[in-house]
Amino acid sequence: MNIFYAPPSHINGNIAELEGQEARHASRVLRAREGDYLTIVDGRGGRYKGPIQRISRKSVQIRLEKREQVSDPGPELILGMGIIKKRDRLEFAVEKAVELGARHLALFRSEHTVKKNVRSDRLEAIMLSAMKQSLRSWLPSLMVFNSVEEVMRHYQDARCLMAHEKADREAGVDNLAAAGEKRLLLLTGPEGGFSPEEVERAVESGAELVSLGEYRLRAETAAVTLMSQFIDR
Ligand code: SAH
């Protein structure tokens, strides 16, 4: 199954229009024809089906016949991740986070981050293709922050769990008291980890430290492991 992406601005009434990459993919790669049915997501939980009305290399118009609003069960997941220096590892973590259902990605600079800038355009393309690949209907937002505190402030309505290798082994996600929260902010550090001051300040602002087991995981493994504990909860 193939899913196509049309942002809400490209959906007017019962007509959706694919442009750019998406149009090229439908017309050139899949060689879709008028009358073929496509599944479209708008990245905001809207999922549509309908036949192609008009198709060219640059634009595909679909008449939408069916619409549903997809809402995932459980809390909205926000992954706050320290910027990982190696680009391929950072991109891996971002891709997996989307597959595992992150609604927002908050990348942050921190005391131990080596690399300070990210290629947002590349990451956004990866996020889009991960959304489609995993047949999800929500395209997560991507934001970059200057500190982990900034991330916590931005998402202060969320319950915050900070993965820390020195957290008590008993403080695994399974042992968390359920609180019925709507949003969860999951924090993992960069390669160099969080500084003791960052951890202290986070705890003061309400973060709960969680353990991912006895062994030290690489930053991208930690992010994927933490996210995976909440899949379909
Ligand atoms: N501070 C360490 C390693 C950092 S690992 C050092 O430099 O030696 C990168 C991040 O992964 C950490 O900041 C933490 O968020 C997460 N992490 C790795 N292993 C973990 C574990 N066993 N439990 C909880 N978090 C872990």
Q: Which of 166, 216, 226, 228 to mutate to test the pocket of ligand 1 (most atoms within 8 A of CB)?
A: 216
Nearest residue (by CA) to ligand 1, atom 1, is 193
Longest pairwise C-alpha distance within the chain: 60
Comparison of pLDDT for 232 and 67, the residue scoring more: 67
The pLDDT of residue 232 is above 80: no
Q: How much distance in Å is there from the Cα of 17 to the middle of ligand 1?
A: 44
Q: What percent of the chain has pLDDT over 70?
A: 99
Which residue is listed with tokens 């290798």? 165
Element spanning 39, H or E: strand 37-41
Q: What pLDDT, on a 0 to 100 scale, did the predictor assign at position 170?
A: 83
Tokens for 44? Answer: 């905001």
Q: What is the CA radius of gyration of the chain?
A: 20
DSSP 8: G
Q: Which of 176, 211, 217, 221 to mutate to test the pocket of ligand 1 (most atoms within 8 A of CB)?
A: 217
Domains and CATH numbers, the chain: 3-69 (2.40.240.20), 76-228 (3.40.1280.10)
Average pLDDT over residues 167-180: 82
The pLDDT of residue 178 is above 80: no
Nearest residue (by CA) to ligand 1, atom 7, is 192
Atom of ligand 1 at shortest range from CA of 190: 9
Helical residues (DSSP H) of the chain, grouped into ranges? 20-24, 87-99, 120-133, 148-154, 196-204, 219-228
The pLDDT of residue 120 is above 90: yes
Nearest residue (by CA) to ligand 1, atom 18, is 217
| Ligand 1 lined by 164 (C-beta under 6 Å) | yes
Q: How much distance in Å is there from the Cα of 189 to the middle of ligand 1?
A: 6
Buried b (16+ CB within 10 A) or exposed e, 209-219: bbbbeeeebeb
Interval 78-99: pLDDT, tens: 999 999 999 999 999 999 999 9
Smallest Cα–Cα separation from 209: which of 149, 159, 155, 168?
168
Q: What percent of the chain has pLDDT over 90?
A: 87
**pLDDT class of 2 with cuts at 50, 70, 90:** confident
Nearest residue (by CA) to ligand 1, atom 20, is 165
Interval 160-171: pLDDT, tens: 999 999 998 888
Element spanning 112, H or E: none
Instruction: Count how many residues are written for the chain.
Output: 233
Nearest residue (by CA) to ligand 1, atom 26, is 165
Contact, 126 vs 100, CB < 8 A?
Answer: no
Q: How much distance in Å is there from the Cα of 154 to the middle of ligand 1?
A: 23
232 φ/ψ sector (left φ>0, alpha ψ -120 to 50, else beta): left
The pLDDT of residue 8 is above 70: yes
| Ligand 1 lined by 222 (C-beta under 6 Å) | yes
| Ligand 1 lined by 212 (C-beta under 6 Å) | yes
Q: How much distance in Å is there from the Cα of 16 to the middle of ligand 1?
A: 44
**pLDDT class of 137 with cuts at 50, 70, 90:** very high
Helical residues (DSSP H) of 45-114, grouped into ranges? 87-99
